[in-house]
Structure 1
Amino acid sequence: MNLRKFGAALALGSALFSAAAMAHSDAAHVKAEGAWARASVPGQQGTGAFMRLTATEPLTLIGVETPAAAVAEVHEMKMENDVMRMRAVEALPLPAGKTVELKPGGYHLMLQQLKAPLVKDSQVPITLVLKDGKGAVSRLTLQVPVSMVPPKGAAPATDHTGHGGHQH
């Protein structure tokens, strides 16, 4: 092999290794299924996004990013003294091999200060920010369908529109 072909092969191998490394870190070792975001109406400031997450290794969901909202957080809804309360959580553990459901009325992604309404039958980009046991951060970017009702196989809908009456 001449020097030019060797250099080209080395450059190609290096590029492939770099691409594999980037894909690995972006893959985040987690599978998202049944994802959907609730459609909103003009003037509505917030909505929820839901899905099932299954990690292949212990991970922690530590953040959410989307260009569709000024604020995106992981939230938990639960009954406290006969009042449904919603609060942001800083971290949501994703045990290896166990499915964690983000659903209406439980843990979910909250998109607040929407920049525009989320229109039915469109998609919204959502990036999950995860941390592994060694502290390495990775991201999983999803194109989440927007709907008034969950798609087949997703978490069932409850009245969770806008979160206006919930206490933080």
Structure 2
Amino acid sequence: PLAPAPALANDDGAHAEVTAGTITVSDAWARATPGAAKVGGAFLTLTNKGDADRLLSASADVSETVELHTHVMDGTVMKMRQVDAIDLPANGSVALRPGSFHVMLIGLKAPLSEGQSFPLTLTFERAGKATIEVTVKAVGAMGGADHKPGHGAMPGMTMPDPAAK
């Protein structure tokens, strides 16, 4: 595997992207956590310009445990579930975002404060490791403008399906 490229800073001081093999990791952010919250979530975009690969794990020093999670509907309630890996299609991309796949930070050692950042290391099956700086945004941040209302549950929350009557 290729060594991770250095992180590049963009205009707002956030680190824009890093590359491992054929995979580019970009737009890494986390929500600030309120008070004594012990869980948080990190979100990012994975773009693969090669053969299919898989995100196998993530690690960060800000929490005791780091897991890959997704949201699933259980009847009319959205619940989080740990996943063994996240598939990256050949020449495709996967967005880890609120209400979908995400990196779960469990047992936070300190609150995540807006404006701070922390390193997150991702391990891919084929591409090896990439470490990116994750920028902490406001508590209610949703990332880009393409997210659906009602899919922004804070980690640990269950939300009713807004489509269920």
1:86 is the counterpart of 2:83: no
Answer yes or no: is the 8 Å Cα contact 2:70–2:82 preserved in 1. yes
Counterpart position of 1:14? none
Answer yes or no: is the 8 Å Cα contact 2:117–2:133 preserved in 1. yes
Counterpart position of 2:27? 34
**Percent of counterpart pairs with the same letter?**
30
Out of 37, 47, 65, the position equivalent to 1:44 is 37
Q: Could you give the per-residue CA deviations for residues 54-74 of structure 1, whole angstroms, max 9, x where no partner exists?
A: 112221000010000111111
Aligned Cα RMSD in Å?
A: 2.4
How far off is 1:79 after superposition?
1.0
Q: Which runs of 5+ in 1 are unaligned?
A: 1-19
How far off is 1:162 after superposition?
3.2
Q: Which runs of 5+ in 2 are unaligned?
A: 6-18, 160-165
Instruction: Determine the C-alpha separation between the residues in 2 that align with 1:46 and 1:38.
Output: 10
Q: TM-score, normalised by structure 2?
A: 0.76
Max radius of gyration: which structure? 1
How far off is 1:91 after superposition?
1.0
How far off is 1:127 after superposition?
0.6
Report the CA distance shift for 1:21/1:93 in structure 2 as closer, same or farther (over 3 A): closer
How many residue pairs match? The answer is: 142
1:59-74 to 2 correspondences below 5 Å: 59-74=53-68
Counterpart position of 1:159? 152
Q: Could you give the per-residue CA deviations for residues 99-139 of structure 1, whole angstroms, max 9, x where no partner exists?
A: 1111111111111100111110110211111102xxxx611
Instruction: Determine the C-alpha separation between the residues in 2 that align with 1:101 and 1:35.
Output: 10
The structure richer in helix per residue is 1
Report the CA distance shift for 1:115/1:156 in structure 2 as closer, same or farther (over 3 A): farther
Counterpart position of 1:143? 133
How far off is 1:164 after superposition?
3.9
Instruction: Determine the C-alpha separation between the residues in 2 that align with 1:49 and 1:21.
Output: 24
Instruction: Determine the C-alpha separation between the residues in 1 that align with 2:124 and 2:79.
Output: 25
Q: TM-score, normalised by structure 1?
A: 0.74
Q: Letter of the aligned partner of 2:44 in structure 1? A: M
Q: Secondary structure of 1:161's partner?
A: coil
